[in-house]
Amino acid sequence: MAELSVFRCISCDINYNINEIRYRCDCGDLLEVIHDLSAVIPNPVEWKTSVESDYGDIPFRRYQKVLFPSLPHEHLITLQEGDTPLYDVSPHFSQFGALHLKHEGMNPTLSFKDRGMVAGVSWANYLGCEIVACASTGDTSAAMAAFAGVAPNMRGIVLLPKGKISPEQLAQPIASGALTIGIETDFDGCMRMVQELTQKHKIYLLNSMNSVRIEGQKAIGIETLHQLKWQVPNWFVIPVGNAGNISALGKGMRELYDLGIIDKLPRLAGIQTEGASPLYESFKSGYSPLTPQQAKTTKASAIQIGNPVSFKKAVRELKHFDGVIETVSETQLMDCKARIDRLGISICPNSAVAVAGAMKLRDADVIQEKDEVVVILTAHGSKFSNTAVEYHQDSSNKFANQTQTIAPDIKELESVLKL
Ligand code: F0G
């Protein structure tokens, strides 16, 4: 089955065997996985019928023919990820033709990273890798540790920027049994170290620089389109950090289009914070080459990244999908988080970046009045509880819901409740 897929360099088009452990081309550029999809799916109508009858199965298996046909089923490591809700919040946001929120925070480790790890850790299992590693702003590490923790004979090593991830995110890899190492640097520094480590030693890299992970993440867009009965919205809006997820979203939809499963392409909008916006800077100047930044502290700590590894892939998808990049401020993102949380949809600040970006693009009429929009929410609010507590404690915030502390006295309670 492995002959259905190859690694191909995104710049010089050289192919490499998919069974090699390799993350870059000899020229130094990134690789992507190319499958012989028309051999696997000769008839798109039959494929659509087959995914309907596979509805009871996990999404990775249901969509596997378009995700990663080369992975033998017996090597699959799954935590029952996917089948996340797609909320229609249009009644609350009448400025849009329609607004849907795809909540990837409703995955087993509470972020979209599980979608990539089912592919990445299963492939590591197939290759017989006993040690896997990643650098992370907190969600990749949680997912990798959880999947590696249930794989036979596999140990996870996670490198985290010390003091820059939430307590909940830190708890996850520890609880899953991974070797958890805080490094006194930022994410970009951890990323440099994990690349060197995995080059020197027999340790398998599971950041999204490993293009196998991207194949799993394609499921987010594909499942969304399936939920929309294959009716393609005008826009997908997504937060951007290391730029793997926007690359996966684009690749998956390109492949569906090429197979004739969908008949139009959406536009893509990638959203960053004002203090960590290398892709935005490039976009503004007509996609100039990446100038790495020293990313500034943001409540959206998972996307505090100044040197995105998948920059080139993201630019390619943005061009293909007539995309745009926007930035949002800390106030805009936290106000948006509060609004969405109030709808019973608990989101993280990184997801809120995308929602705030959609609002900003609608205000500027880039997203138009009649447009149907899907925003990808990337993690659950419970992973970042400190940001909500801080926001609501400060009465100067637009949607603050301050808590009060009183003595254990009924009169005092009645007085606070104005009874
Ligand atoms: N949202 C969340 C919650 C994330 O954790 C990340 C990335 C992103 C958005 C951005 O996705 O990097 O593919 O552009 N988190 C990585 C990590 C960097 O280590 O968990 P991207």
Q: Which amino acid is at 98?
A: A
Check residue 55 and give its pLDDT: 81
| Strand pairing class (86-88; 98-103) | antiparallel
Q: Is 312 left (phi over 0), alpha (psi -120 to 50) or beta?
A: alpha
Mean pLDDT lowest among 46-55, 176-185, 321-330, 397-406 = 46-55
Asked, for residue 410, whether it belongs to a domain, the answer is no
Average pLDDT score over the chain: 97
Indicate which atom in ligand 1 lies nearest the CA of residue 240.
14
Overall average pLDDT of the 392-410 stretch: 97
Nearest to 112 by CA among 33, 219, 252: 219
- In the reported structure, the alpha carbon of residue 53 is separated from the centroid of ligand 1 by a whole-number distance in angstroms of 32
Provide mean pLDDT across the span 96-101.
98
Domain contains 407? no
Q: What is the pLDDT of residue 238?
A: 99
CA-closest residue to ligand 1 atom 7: 302
Mutate to test the pocket of ligand 1, among 213, 242, 298, 382 (most ligand atoms within 8 A of CB): 242
pLDDT value at 365 more than 90 = yes
Q: Interior CA angle at 143 toward 256 and 237, to 5°?
A: 45
Q: For the segment 156-213, what is each residue's pLDDT rounded down to a tens digit?
A: 999 999 999 999 999 999 999 999 999 999 999 999 999 999 999 999 999 999 999 9
- How far apart (Å, rounded) are the C-alpha atoms in residues 376 and 355? 8
pLDDT reported for residue 284: 97
Q: Which residues sit opposite 304 in a β-bridge? A: none
Answer whether residue 2 shows pLDDT above 70.
Answer: no
In percent, the amount of the chain with pLDDT more than 70 equals 100
Residue 313 has pLDDT above 80, yes or no: yes
Enumerate residues 6+ apart whose C-beta is below 8 A from 233. 98, 100, 266, 371, 372, 373, 374
What are the residues whose beta carbons fall under 8 Å from the beta carbon of 374, sequence distance 6 or more? 86, 100, 101, 102, 224, 228, 233, 235, 236, 237, 266
| Among protein residues, the one whose CA lies closest to atom 6 of ligand 1 | 302
Length of the chain counted residue by residue: 419
Query: How many Å apart are CA 257 and CA 110, to the nearest integer?
Result: 30
Is 368 contained in some domain? yes
Instruction: Write down the pLDDT at residue 162.
Output: 97
Does residue 127 register a pLDDT over 90?
yes
Q: Is the pLDDT of residue 254 over 80?
A: yes
Q: Are 35 and 103 in contact (CB under 8 A)?
A: no
Question: Which residue is listed with tokens 């650098």?
Answer: 135
Rounded average pLDDT over 223-243: 98
Q: 240 alpha carbon to ligand 1 midpoint, in Å?
A: 7
Residue bearing tokens 């970006």 = 357
When pLDDT is averaged across residues 211-224 and rounded to a whole number, the result is 98
Write out residues with Cβ below 6 Å of ligand 1.
Answer: 111, 113, 136-140, 208, 239-246, 302-303, 348, 350, 378-379
Average pLDDT over residues 80-98: 98
pLDDT at position 1? 61
380 lies in a domain? yes
247-258 average pLDDT score: 98
- Evaluate whether 379 touches 107 at the Cβ level (below 8 Å): no
The total number of structural domains in the chain stands at 1
In a domain? residue 299:
yes
Please determine, for residue 110, whether its predicted confidence score (pLDDT) is greater than 70. Answer: yes
Rounded Cα distance, 107 and 220, in Å? 11
Residues with Cβ within 8 Å of residue 229, at least 6 apart in sequence: none
Q: How far is the CA of 254 from the centre of ligand 1 (A)?
A: 22
CATH of the domain at 262: 3.40.50.1100
pLDDT of the residue at 54 = 80
Residue 203 belongs to a domain: no
Please state the atom number of ligand 1 nearest to the C-alpha of residue 140.
20
Domain boundaries, position 338: 86-110+213-393
Q: Two tokens at 163? A: 């003091």
Query: Tokens 């294959």 appear where?
Result: 230
Any domain includes 223: yes
Is residue 5 domain-resident? no
Residue 287, pLDDT > 90, answer: yes
Instruction: Outline where 211-329 has alpha helix (H).
Output: 211-227, 244-259, 278-284, 311-320
The answer to whether residue 3 scores a pLDDT higher than 90 is no
